[in-house]
Each structure stands twice: as structure tokens, then as C-alpha cells.
């Protein structure tokens, strides 16, 4: 087999128009996210907020999000998936404006998380339900892989570009540019009109499904996503202590992402075969080990090695996991499955937040407390195997 045919076999070929539009939109949105996500907790930390306060900030995001999430499903069912994504991206831009204003108006520290919760409410139910509905059954893994690759390419460009912007112009310029890109990401999905049929969605049924006996195993599997809270908050602050120069930090994260891209393509192809669960199990074990290794990181080379290993392992998990999730959505209810997935994920993050908050309350050494959270994340990563 030629190299061209090899790469062609790993790419999706039957993407529907809606999925292609979502792909372009997601790539643009992830460019903005790649520029700001890793620097978000670092920004608050550099403003003088303690780790406990930063964790409390995210508690103010995820508690309201869990409560209002079904309303996002109602909106997407009434107005369409593309409108849910559109409104969600508007609130993304608004969130980063409010986050920047925290330095001038400290009370914005309490308002910004609520804006972020509303963003998530509109965006994620619509995104997951839209993808589950329009993705192709025969190449779902490769389509998810294509989304991951597109996003990963942005995470090569984004952190390095963000480090340069912060170094030369500061966080104000970074958040402004990211907000503009968030708004531009809507253009692909709004070019064509979405054909949509109104359907109702039960607010209380979402919570009944979350804790139902038949969904218990899946709930525990999705609780594994609690480790993402540690990726988003604790890990960036930890590496900012090791790598003081923000430009170097952005560059290292970009290089780590680059190395994972080709392997992610192959994982997508595997996930369209009969090996989904074995790939998921392998990724979970590999990812858990990567978390435990973080405990021993003390320099830039260590950050680069473990960040590369972690990103690769997480892609090995996410592609088969999301393929299984979207397959179930097609067999059941698309929106109900999307909401169950998101709610389970949020419960996992809330568990992680409470555990981290407790650790920071009893342990005064922040570095030691951070390393304990890496053990928690490694343990939660093993839950993915239950799906």
C-alpha cells in the first residue's frame, strides 16, 4: 500500500454537509480555545488568586451548568443545533471579556463563571446531539479523529501564538483576539439554513436518566472526565511554576501536540473496526500512567515528555469513547444521550473540584497538593474502561 493510500484509508470520505460545517466551525473555535485555555488559570493565578479561589471559580461554573443544562437541550430542540452552537459561541466571547475585566473589577470573578456556565448550556448539548445525528455510522471513528486532528493542529498554533501575544501585548490582546475568532467560528454553520423539526425535552427526565440503574455503569465511566478539571486548572499552573516564560510554555505545549497528530489518525481507523473497547482500555491505562509520571516532573524536558504522552493517550481514549457514545445516541435518543453524557461528565468534574478543594484546605504546601491531584486524575482515568 502506498503512503497516499495509507493516509487516505485513515480519513473519512462520507461526511455529510452538516458535519463538514461543524468541522470547520470547530477548528476555528478550537484555535481560539487553544490560545486561551491553558493561560486561563495562569492568568487568575498571576492576578494573585490562590489555588483554592481558582478551584472555587470553577465550582461556580459547574454547579450552575449542571442545573441549567437541560434548558440548553430545550433550546436546541426548539431552535436547532446550529443556533445552540451559535449562541454558545457568543457567550464564549462574552466570558473572556468578563474574565479580562476581573483585574479591574474583582466582583467579575463571581460573574464570569456564570457566563461560562451559560455558554456551556447552549453549546455542548447542541454540539454533541448535532454530531451524533449527522455523523456517518460506518466511519464515525474517522470523523471523530478528523475533528481531533483539526483541533490538534490548532493546539499546535494556538499556544505558541498566545505565548507570543501575551509576551508582547498582554492578556487583553489575547482575550480580544480569541473573542473575535469565537464569533467568526459561526460563519460555516450559518451559511446554509438548518432544516429542523421542533421536539420537546423534559427537564426532570434528564436527572432521572442520570441516576437510573440502567445507566449506572456508563455514569461511572463518564465520571473519569473529572480528570479534565485537573488538566484545565492544576496542570497549567504547575507547569507555569516550572516554565516561567509564557512564550516557552506555549511553544512546548504546541510541540507536544504536534507529535500526537499522526497516531490520532490511526486510532480513528481502529475505532471503526471491532477494536473500540480494547483501544479504550489501552488508552485509559496509558493515560493513567502519564498522570502518575507528572508527579516527578521538575524541568522543561519533563513537561514536554509527559504532556506529549498525555495528549497522545487522551486521544486514544476519546476517539473510541465518543464513537461508542454517538453509536448509542443513534440507537436511543440523540439529545437524551448527549445530555446524559454531559451531565455525567460535569458530576465527575464536581467530584474532582471537591476533592481538590479538600486537599488544598488541609495541605499548605501547594506543590505537594498539586501532585496529589495528579494521583486523583490518574485514578479517575481508569474509570473510562467501564464504558
Residue 296 reports pLDDT greater than 70: yes
In tens, the pLDDT along 104-160 reads 999 999 999 999 999 999 999 999 988 888 877 767 667 777 787 777 778 777 877
Q: Give a yes or no: residue 6 inside a domain.
A: no
User: Residue 74 and residue 341: Cα distance in Å, rounded?
Assistant: 16
Q: Give a yes or no: residue 208 inside a domain.
A: no
Residue 12 reports pLDDT greater than 50: yes
Q: Give a yes or no: residue 263 inside a domain.
A: yes
For position 330, what pLDDT does the model report?
85
Query: What domain count does the chain have?
Result: 1
The more confident residue out of 224 and 329 is 224
For position 7, what pLDDT does the model report?
44
User: Given CA atoms 322, 328, 333, 336 in this order, what sign does their dihedral have?
Assistant: negative
User: Residue 29 and residue 127: Cα distance in Å, rounded?
Assistant: 12
Lowest mean pLDDT among 17-26, 91-100, 105-114, 192-201: 192-201
CATH number where 27 lies: 1.20.1250.20
Percentage, residues of the chain above pLDDT 90: 42
Asked if residue 84 lies in contact with residue 75, where contact means CB atoms within 8 angstroms, the answer is yes
Q: Which domain holds residue 298?
A: 16-191+214-386
For position 1, what pLDDT does the model report?
47
The more confident residue out of 129 and 8 is 129
What are the backbone angles phi and psi of residue 192, rounded to the nearest 5°?
-110, 150
Q: Give a yes or no: residue 22 inside a domain.
A: yes
User: Residue 226 and residue 189: Cα distance in Å, rounded?
Assistant: 30
Q: Give a yes or no: residue 141 inside a domain.
A: yes
Q: Give a yes or no: residue 281 inside a domain.
A: yes
User: Residue 250 — pLDDT band, cuts 50, 70, 90?
Assistant: low
For position 284, what pLDDT does the model report?
94
304: Cβ–Cβ under 8 A, 6 or more apart, which residues? 252, 255, 256
Q: Give a yes or no: residue 196 inside a domain.
A: no
User: Given CA atoms 210, 213, 217, 220 in this order, what sign does their dihedral have?
Assistant: positive
In tens, the pLDDT along 63-79 reads 999 999 999 999 998 88
| Residue 81 DSSP SS3 | helix
For position 44, what pLDDT does the model report?
93
**Helix H or strand E segment including 102:** none
Angle between helices 39-46 and 51-79 in degrees, nearest 10? 140
Q: Give a yes or no: residue 199 inside a domain.
A: no
Task: Compute how many other C-beta atoms are within 10 angstroms of the C-beta atom of residue 358.
Answer: 11
Amino acid at each position: 500500500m502506498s503512503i497516499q493510500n495509507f493516509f487516505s484509508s485513515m480519513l473519512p470520505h462520507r461526511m455529510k454537509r452538516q458535519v463538514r460545517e461543524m468541522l470547520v466551525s470547530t477548528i476555528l473555535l478550537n484555535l481560539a480555545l487553544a490560545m486561551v485555555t491553558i493561560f486561563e488559570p495562569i492568568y487568575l493565578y498571576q492576578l494573585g488568586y490562590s489555588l483554592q479561589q481558582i478551584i472555587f471559580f470553577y465550582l461556580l461554573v459547574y454547579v450552575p451548568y449542571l442545573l441549567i443544562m437541560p434548558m440548553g437541550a430545550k433550546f436546541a430542540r426548539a431552535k436547532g443545533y446550529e443556533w445552540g452552537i451559535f449562541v454558545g459561541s457568543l457567550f464564549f466571547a462574552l466570558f473572556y471579556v468578563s474574565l479580562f475585566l476581573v483585574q479591574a473589577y474583582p466582583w467579575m470573578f463571581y460573574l464570569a463563571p456564570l457566563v461560562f456556565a451559560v455558554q456551556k448550556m447552549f453549546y455542548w448539548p447542541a454540539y454533541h446531539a448535532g454530531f451524533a445525528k449527522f455523523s456517518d455510522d460506518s466511519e464515525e471513528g474517522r470523523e471523530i479523529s478528523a475533528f481531533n486532528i483539526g483541533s490538534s493542529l490548532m493546539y499546535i498554533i494556538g499556544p505558541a501564538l498566545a505565548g507570543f501575544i501575551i509576551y508582547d501585548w498582554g492578556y487583553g490582546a489575547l482575550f480580544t483576539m480569541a473573542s473575535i475568532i469565537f464569533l467568526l467560528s459561526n460563519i460555516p454553520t450559518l451559511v446554509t439554513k438548518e432544516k429542523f423539526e421542533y421536539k420537546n425535552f423534559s427537564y426532570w427526565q434528564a436527572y432521572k436518566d442520570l441516576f437510573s440503574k440502567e445507566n449506572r455503569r456508563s455514569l461511572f465511566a463518564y465520571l473519569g472526565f473529572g480528570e479534565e478539571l485537573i488538566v484545565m486548572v492544576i496542570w497549567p499552573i504547575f507547569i507555569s511554576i516550572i516554565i516561567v516564560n509564557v512564550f516557552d510554555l506555549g511553544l512546548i505545549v504546541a510541540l507536544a501536540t504536534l507529535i500526537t497528530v499522526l497516531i490520532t489518525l490511526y486510532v480513528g481507523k481502529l475505532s471503526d473496526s471491532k477494536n473500540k473497547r480494547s483501544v479504550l482500555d489501552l488508552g485509559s491505562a496509558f493515560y493513567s500512567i502519564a498522570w502518575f509520571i507528572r508527579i516527578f516532573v521538575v524541568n522543561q524536558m519533563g513537561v514536554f515528555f509527559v504532556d506529549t504522552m498525555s495528549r497522545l493517550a487522551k486521544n486514544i481514549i476519546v476517539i473510541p469513547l465518543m464513537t461508542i457514545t454517538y453509536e448509542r445516541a443513534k440507537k436511543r435518543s440523540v439529545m437524551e444521550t448527549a445530555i446524559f453524557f454531559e451531565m455525567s461528565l460535569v458530576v465527575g468534574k464536581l467530584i474532582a473540584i471537591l476533592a481538590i478543594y479538600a486537599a488544598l484546605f488541609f495541605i499548605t504546601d501547594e506543590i505537594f497538593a498539586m501532585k496529589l491531584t495528579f494521583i486523583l486524575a490518574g485514578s479517575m482515568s481508569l474509570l473510562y474502561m467501564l464504558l
